[in-house]
Structure 1
């Protein structure tokens, strides 16, 4: 992997990035960063989930998202997949291998988020949140490992949690429980793949401004951040790019809390 003054280049790498459906999102920023570093990227989206949320779909749809990444072509491919389907993770990986021959980096950034408190929580949503957030992350890792060529250096799996291991989220129990499982699985997945030269790490990006929070919540959380603002998607993307690079080959089994000094106890 070449290095230039702007950081590690990834012109010999292929990455799968899940959860790329909005230009304001973390997944979009990650895909853009990797493409800028020379990687070939397959992005996964499931826009019906965004349509159910208060923030809605990207105003330009997936056409605008893909156009913003340079357009579907030799270095960028797209697949729509619903991770509620247990077969979807394998299909996403198969699509990437069919397009590029192999995958070096898996970034499981996708998430299902529905607000349910203890009095509101349902079995159906608990099951669905686990399927999308937890189960799919494991099955994506399994599919990645199955196709990975151990002769290629630099295998990377990067998962995402949201700090559930550091603070409570009582108003969003299915999300908190299922994403909290990512923190718990990180070390075991890392150990399972360590002898093959594949690292597994998880990023907790803290509060990131992706357009989902209203003005009141944005102001409230900003008071708990030393910089007085939420994180930006591109700041998360730079950390992920580094974890995906050869420079991070000694880091595995870690949950990296990149929260800008988030003080959860500030009211």
Structure 2
């Protein structure tokens, strides 16, 4: 049946729980101060069931330290819009090539046997440098975590979606990049910038590959976001470069990602979206 040129009044009245009945996997949801946690809370508030992936040993080695997975889980459960939805959490070292497929299978099983939304938010922090400082270990570590694992997650997710009836709605993949190709780039974090650039470059190819399964694929550059990694004069200097006079907060990219996950975002695919609040580089 051909689609009408305009939505009906009932269609225009947005459902208060636009993701009710859908299931999402959010990787890198290890800390309440992070983007992954904010994304998971938004998806849960919109009615989705959510599986939170975490890798606490990574955060233990960072200046900001680790959060307790049960506290992150409780925070997301508090945001649940649908009391019948589920929120589950589990660990996984995505540097291990066997983990991405196992994680997708575990998440789908925990959320009722299906997975509609994949948000690949995780990344390797630190362990990087400028051109004269990077070495093979740095390049390999960032490749394994920031890029290879994302592609393997998408592959496993696509195989799940392929088993559903044709054109099953709600299929979404969101990846994260870092604006490494804007203005001056990231000359002090070459290993990270290289691998995040690879995700941006492959976005349109993945969108084409998954189009037959009615899955959209988009990548979000959130710009500088306050995830507790900077303080003092440097923090204030960055804040001054935003027209709003403040850093991005984790919920800023989370709102965009949650919107892309809804049916309202179904016509947007293959895009790298800069959501930086007008940040002046």
Q: TM-score scaled by structure 1?
A: 0.93
Query: Number of residues paired by the alignment?
Result: 261
Contact 2:170 2:215 in 1 (8 A): yes
Matches within 5 A, 1:119-130: 119-130=132-143
Deviation at 1:52, TM superposition (A): 1.0
Q: Is the 8 A contact 1:186 1:255 kept in 2?
A: yes
Structure 2 SS opposite 1:195: helix
Q: Is the 8 A contact 1:8 1:242 kept in 2?
A: no
Instruction: Give the counterpart of 1:68 among 65, 70, 75.
Output: 75
Deviation at 1:10, TM superposition (A): 0.7
Q: Is 1:95 the equivalent of 2:106?
A: yes
Is it true that 1:11 corresponds to 2:20 in the alignment?
yes
**8 Å Cα contact 1:16/1:105 also seen in 2:** yes
SS of match in other structure, 2:77? coil
Q: How far apart are the structure 2 equivalents of 1:261 and 1:74?
A: 36
Q: Deviations over 1:69-118 (max 9, x none)?
A: 228x9601111001110011101101012122110010001111214222
- The answer on whether the counterparts of 2:48 and 2:85 sit within 8 Å (CA) in structure 1 is no
Deviation, structure 1 residue 7:
5.4
Bigger-Rg structure (1/2): 2
Q: Compute the RMSD of aligned alpha carbons.
A: 1.9
Structure 2 residue matching 1:30: 3-state secondary structure: helix
1:218 equivalent in structure 2: 235
Instruction: Identify the match of residue 77 of structure 1 among 59, 69, 88.
Output: 88
Q: Residue 45 of structure 2 aligns with which residue?
A: 36
Distance between the aligned counterparts of 1:196 and 1:170, measured in 2? Answer: 38
Q: Shift of the alpha carbon at 1:217?
A: 2.4
- Structure 2 spans left out of the alignment, 5+ residues: 1-10, 79-83
Determine the structure 2 residue equivalent to 1:144. Answer: 157
Tell whether the 8 Å contact from 1:18 to 1:43 is kept in structure 2 after alignment: yes
